[in-house]
Amino acid sequence: MVKNKQDKTKLSNWEEGDVFALRINSEEHKEYNGKYIILIHTIINKDNWKMTRTTNSFRAKITKDSILPKTKEELEKLEYIKIYSEGYLLEKTRFPKETKNLYPDKYHLIYKYLFVIKSFKYKVPEDLIYIGNFNLEKPINEYIPVSQHHGVLYSFWNEKYSKIVEKLLNSYEWLNLKKSTIFTKEGQKEFLDNQKENIKFWQEIDDFIVQLKKVNKSINETNSKTKEIQKNGFETYVGGSEILDILNKKQK
């Protein structure tokens, strides 16, 4: 159990910068067993990031050995786990505000480090080790998406906590160790082709939305003029007398 002056088994006591550890006991990645996943509780102050009392966001690091880090200096030396990658060109097109200060790597990628874990009945795993509260350096060139619903890993605490650990280890293998096919020559070609198609698709969507707004504006203006005619009568409306003449001729 977590032991501390503040009871960190209660989510209500969690604060920005609280650091926890989970000892890896993996079925899929046994070579990591005995090492630790470090969970850094992170609060994102953005309008579209809405956390509930049982939902928390984190960044994660991984230890190089079975020694549990206990100081800020030891924690700073550890590598952040890249959770997801995104194509820079497409994200820049769709979300210029979120990407304006970012730059892609040589694979045309930017990386997300945040993920979300939901707790049931305010419970956390008994194996969760509280290390302390630290103001750690954030990942360099981190892509923080517009909301937690845009391509952010979402998982749950449960008795078999290793599910979140397995997901983090998968991300570490794919992105940190570059085992994903996106880092191959063939994978890069397919990725860049998809990026171009997706950019074209979203540009067409944007153009359609602009045209739709123009149509709606025209309809609203027409409806406004119609209401004005109905309220004041044809003769008081500019061109109203001509409209009446046309209508009278049709009736004859």
Instruction: Tell me if 225 sits within 8 A of 214, measured CB to CB.
Output: no
Q: Are residues 107 and 223 in the same domain?
A: no
| pTM assigned to the model | 0.78
27 inside domain: yes
Domain span at residue 73 reads: 11-183
Instruction: Tell me if 90 sits within 8 A of 183, measured CB to CB.
Output: no
Q: Are residues 67 and 108 in the same domain?
A: yes
pLDDT of residue 124: 74
Instruction: Tell me if 116 sits within 8 A of 153, measured CB to CB.
Output: yes
Residue 50: helix, strand or coil by DSSP?
Answer: coil
Q: Cα 245 to chain center, whole Å?
A: 62
Q: Are residues 86 and 115 in the same domain?
A: yes
Neighbours of 156 (CB within 10 A): 14
Give strand pairing partners of 39.
Answer: 20, 60
Round to whole Å and give the CA distance between 248 and 252.
Answer: 6
Number of domains composing the chain: 2
Per-residue pLDDT in tens (0 to 9) along the chain, 252 residues = 454 457 887 787 889 999 999 999 888 899 999 999 999 999 888 777 777 777 889 999 999 999 999 999 999 999 999 999 999 999 998 899 999 999 999 999 999 999 988 877 666 777 889 999 999 999 999 999 888 878 788 787 765 545 888 999 999 999 999 999 999 999 999 999 998 898 888 788 777 777 777 777 767 766 666 666 555 654 555 455 555 565 555 555
4 inside domain: no
pLDDT of residue 4: 47
**Considering 183, 209, 237, which residue would you say is the last residue of a domain?**
183
Q: Are residues 151 and 218 in the same domain?
A: no
Q: Are residues 28 and 107 in the same domain?
A: yes
pLDDT of residue 69: 97
Residue in the structure block whose two tokens are 């480090």: 113
Neighbours of 76 (CB within 10 A): 12
Q: Are residues 208 and 170 in the same domain?
A: no
Across 54-179, where does the E strand assignment appear? Answer: 55-62, 79-80, 84-87, 109-112, 115-118, 129-133, 153-156
* Token pair listed for 80: 């952040």
**Considering 131, 157, 183, which residue would you say is the last residue of a domain?**
183
Instruction: Tell me if 171 sits within 8 A of 153, measured CB to CB.
Output: yes
Q: Are residues 49 and 117 in the same domain?
A: yes
